[in-house]
Amino acid sequence: MAEGNYLVGVDIGSSSIKLCQLKDVRGKRTLVKFGYYPLPSQTVVDGHVMNASAIIQGLNSLWSQLKLKRKECSLAVSGHAVIIRRLALPMMTQAELAEQIPWEAEQQIPYDIKDVQIDYEVLRRRPEQGQMDVLLVAAKKEEINDAAQVAREAKLKPAVVDVDAFTVQNAFEVNYGLPREGNVALINIGAGLTTVNILSGGIPAFTRSIVNGGNAITEEIQKRLGISWEEAEVYKTHAAGGQLDARAVVPAEVPQIIRQAVEQLSAEILRSLDFYLATSGEREIGRIYLSGGTANIPEMAVALERRAKAPVEPLDPFRDIAVDPKEVNTEQLNLHRAQVCVAIGLALRKDREKV
C-alpha cells in the first residue's frame, strides 16, 4: 500500500474542474473536501489547455472557498496526448526490461521519443510460455508541462500526473475490487472526451480515447433549434436530471434530438468494444460501468445496453468511500456524483509512492 498523505485530486475537464480530498477517518477512506467549478466553453479542447487564465481563476476560487491548506495535488492528462499499448514480450529481468523499453517505445509510439514521457508496468508473467505482458504508457511532455504549469501558476504543487483512464480504474478498484475473470468495460463520458478502459481478469487489456462526448449532444440541440450554446446546455442538463428555471419550458423536440445524438455516440463507443472483442478473441463484455457527466442522461445507458448486449450500470465512486457530511456539501456532490470518478481516482494517490 502507498505511504504518505493523500494528494488533492484535481480533474480539469472540458467543461469544469472537479476537486476531491480524502482522509482516513477511523480506518475508512473518507471524502472531506469536494469542489466543482464550471469552465467557459473551449477552455480545454481534446486535452489541450486553451484558456489557462480561466483554469487558474477556478483553482484559486476552489482553494479559497474550501479553505484548503494542502497545496500538493495530482492531475490527469488525456486524449491523443496519451498513448497506451499492451505488449507481449519475452521473459526478462527488470534491468533487461528497462533497456528494452525505449526501443519498444520507438516502434509503438507515433511521436518523437524525445517529446514523450514514458512509463511502464509488468502486468503479468507467463513463465510457462516464456512471455510477460507489459503495459507501456507514453504522454506528450508538452501536455504534462502545460497541466503542471497551470497548477503552479495557481500556487499549487503538482506531485503526480496520471492518465484519466487509469484514474477511473483506481476509483473502480477501491469501490468494487478487480474481477479475476471476464471482461469489464469502464467508460467515462465527459463533455469533450470519452475514455474506454476494458479490464480482462482485472488487468487493463484495451484503452482508447474518443474525441466525442456530451458537447456533441449540446451542439446538436443548438443546431437543430437555432439557439445559443448556453440554452442548449440547459435543456440537455435538464434531460439528465439537472435543475431548470421554473419559467423555462423545454421544447418538445429536445428528447428526440437527445436520443438521436446519444445513438450516434453509443455507436462510436460500441465500435471500440467490438474492435477489442475481434482482436482479443474474447467473446463478450460482461458488464459496463458508466461515469462522467453524460452518463447522467438515461438514454445513454439504455442505448449502450441494447447495442452491447451487456448490463450497464453507473460507477458509484462512493460505494466504499465514506463522505463527511459536516465538511462536504452533499447536495452539490450528488448533483455531480457521476462526474467525480477521475477526481476520486486522483485523490487516491499519495505523496510517497512509486509514480
Residues 179, 202 contacting (CB under 8 angstroms): yes
Q: Considering only CA atoms, which of 148, 170, 143 is closest in space to residue 158?
A: 148
> Domains (ranges, CATH) in the chain?
3-82+137-215+259-352 (3.30.420.40), 83-136 (3.30.1490.300)
Note the pLDDT of residue 1: 43
pLDDT in tens, 125-159: 989 999 999 999 999 999 899 999 999 999 999 99
Single-letter residue type at 252: A
What is the predicted pLDDT for the residue at 225?
94
Predicted pLDDT of residue 49: 81
State the amino acid at position 28 in one-letter form.
K
* CA atoms of 324 and 339, how far apart (whole Å): 19
Tell me which amino acid residue 80 is: H
Residues (pLDDT < 50) of the chain are: 1, 246-247, 354-355
Residue 48: the pLDDT is 76
pLDDT tens-digit map of 223-269: 999 999 989 988 888 766 655 554 467 888 999 999 999 999 999 99
Quick check: 91 and 125 in contact, CB under 8 A? yes
User: Which distant-in-sequence residues (6+ apart) come within 8 Å of 69 by Cβ?
Assistant: none
Q: What angle do CA 152, 113, 86 make, to 5 degrees?
A: 95
